[in-house]
Each structure stands twice: as structure tokens, then as C-alpha cells.
A = this chain, B = another copy of it.
Amino acid sequence: MVVSSNLRHVVYMLAVSSLVLGIAEAASLVVRQVGELKQFNGIPGLTHITLAGAVDHGQKEVEAWVETIIPGRGTPIHRHELEEIFIVLKGSGTVYIAPGPESDKNFPGEPEAIPFSSNSTFSIPWNAVHQVINTNDEDLHVYVIISRPPMISYMYKDWNTPHDAAVSIDLPWEKPEESTPTKDEL
């Protein structure tokens, strides 16, 4: 039973290393270079980097992201039960905002369109349905701060989608990377 014994050894070594890593992380502080962090491109025209997150960095109460959105693109129409702050570093755009399920309508309806420019900041009201679009002709660079990580987000097909038809999807940066199956060396 060579395979089984090897497997037991691997599992044991993994357990020991995560214990050691866990202790080291709790006691000290790690400086991360932004340029070396993982980049996600799951949403068309939007590049995402998690600066400090629940999945990779053990954050429990707050996450910080940096995102670049190319002209004409943006976030889906969505809502979430958490606080979210945008800090606009460069570029400009429009944030569209409509009432969430707490309102008397059962769908968001025509959103309010609020323009923003560089060196500005805004917060998304709790559970409001919103969308951030780069409505201009240069890249938009924003920092995004959220509470209650990892984010659970409800997506709307359009502004008339009923609240109870919004779909919760897994954001690619909010789930642990799938472990690559180790090849059997035999």
C-alpha cells in the first residue's frame, strides 16, 4: 500500500505546514506588492486585484480591491447586504442606483444616474441595486472597499428584473482557488 502511505504523508505534511503558516501569519505582518498580486479578468472589460481579502489574506471584517474598467464597460447590475465604498483614483464614469427589495416595488425600476470624476468617493447604500460604468474614453481606476467579506452578490439581468429573480453568483476572487489535482506519478 505504497500509494496510501504516500497520501497519508502528504496529508500530514499539509496539515503541519498550514499550522506553521497560520501561526506565522497571526504573529507578524506581510507587505504585499500590488503588482505581484493575482489578477482576475472574469467580468468583461474589468480587471480585479484583491489587495487584502478573506480568501487569500484572512480578512474577516473588511476587504480592499483595486479595479480597472475600460471605456464602455462596468459592473453588472447587482446588490449586496454590506457596506461598499468607491474611491475614484483616475478616470470618470457614472453610477446607476435604484431601490432594493426594501422598497415598495418588486423590481428596481429606472435607476438614478450619478456622474463621478477622478479624485472623488461615494458609498453604495445598503442593498441598493447599482451598476458602475466607465462612461468616458479613458480607463477608470477605482479602489473598492467592502464590509462582511466574502461578498455575496445578487445579479439582475436588467432594471426590471424582479428582486426575487436576481441570481447569486460566485465572484471568481471570492472563492478559494481550485486545487490542481496532483498527477499520479506511477
Contacts and interface: CB of A to CB of B under 8 A. Distances in A.
Interface in A114-128: 114-117, 119-125, 128
Given A29-B95, A64-B121, 7 more contacts: A28-B114, A34-B120, A35-B119, A61-B61, A61-B148, A143-B143, A145-B145
A29 B124 contact: yes
Nearest to A99: B27
Nearest to A112: B28
Interface string A46-85: 0000011000010111101010000000000000001101
Nearest to A102: B26
A165 to B, nearest CB: 23
A25 to B, nearest CB: 8
A169 interface: no
B29 A59 contact: no
A166 interface: no
Interface in A15-61: 26-35, 51-52, 57, 59-61
A61 B82 contact: yes
A155 interface: no
Given A34-B120, A143-B143, A29 B125 contact: yes
A28 B124 CA distance: 9
Contact of A123 (B27, B59, B99, B115): B59
A97 interface: yes
CB-CB nearest 10 A-B residue pairs:
A61-B147, A51-B121, A62-B147, A52-B85, A61-B83, A31-B116, A31-B122, A34-B119, A64-B85, A52-B123
